Amino acid sequence: MAQLLHIDSSIRGEHSISRRLTARAAAAWRAAHPDGTVTYRDLGRNPLPHLDEAGGLARMVPAEQHSPEQRASWALSEELVAEVKRADTVLLGLPLYNYGAPSSVKTWVDHLIAPGIAYDPVSNAGLLGDREFIVLASRGGGYGPGTPRAGWDHAEPWLPHGLSLTGIQPRFITAELTLAPVNPAMAELIPLHEASLATAEREIDELWLPASAAA
């Protein structure tokens, strides 16, 4: 039975474009996998604890030597890795905050970098790579080539590197200029935003279509 892991991270609630995109993708996935099951995690509303000294050391100390705090942190990492391992497809909503990923997503990644369960500490071979990973990204501005802030999006280039030890390889679908409809200074960019959003929605709708339908 197919399994989906659906993760949101936006703190904007019903106004979030990334939540809108992940919801659309989850609906498309369920339509293509009517017998599938879905696990949902909301990092925006229920953030994970950042790795503190105990959590960091839990990755460097044998399990039998763990303190209670280290044991708790490692158990959470095991839970998060298990969620990914059970999934055939992972959907992650990734809004751009202050030109980077939300801290909640960075924390999720930090917990996934767990030796022995997410990657082999001897060979560094990833243990989570045999699954589909779709990232639904949203950006308030425009960061493409030729724009004034080209290269200022540090979330999209970071994520593949941050997860590289695990073997997971993300595919990005991005909607940008999402602030244009609510920022009067960006009003002239609304048509570009609408085109970007429409393209992202079309890519989502085509993700799990039969090959004949997508052709």
Give yes or no for a contact between 113 and 69, defined as CB atoms under 8 angstroms apart: no
| CA-to-CA separations, 116 to 50, 62, 129, 165, 168, in angstroms, rounded | 20, 11, 14, 11, 15
Tell me the β-bridge partners of 41.
Answer: 7
Of 47-61, 141-155, 159-173, the one with minimum mean pLDDT is 47-61
In the chain, the number of structural domains is 1
Indicate if the pLDDT at residue 215 is higher than 80.
Answer: no
Task: Supply the pLDDT for residue 204.
Answer: 98
Beta strands in the chain (DSSP E): 3-8, 37-42, 89-95, 132-139, 171-176
pLDDT averaged over the chain? 95
Task: Supply the pLDDT for residue 56.
Answer: 83
Rounded Cα distance, 180 and 188, in Å: 8
Tell me the whole-structure pTM to 2 decimals: 0.94
Indicate if the pLDDT at residue 212 is higher than 70.
Answer: no
Rounded to an integer, the average pLDDT of 41-50 is 97
Indicate if the pLDDT at residue 202 is higher than 70.
Answer: yes
| CA-to-CA separations, 176 to 38, 102, 140, 144, in angstroms, rounded | 27, 16, 6, 10
Rounded Cα distance, 179 and 143, in Å: 13
Residue 211's pLDDT band, with cuts at 50, 70 and 90, is: low
Indicate if the pLDDT at residue 162 is higher than 60.
Answer: yes
Domain holding 29: CATH number?
3.40.50.360
Residue 55's pLDDT band, with cuts at 50, 70 and 90, is: confident
* Residue span of the structural domain in which 35 resides: 3-214
Task: Supply the pLDDT for residue 184.
Answer: 97
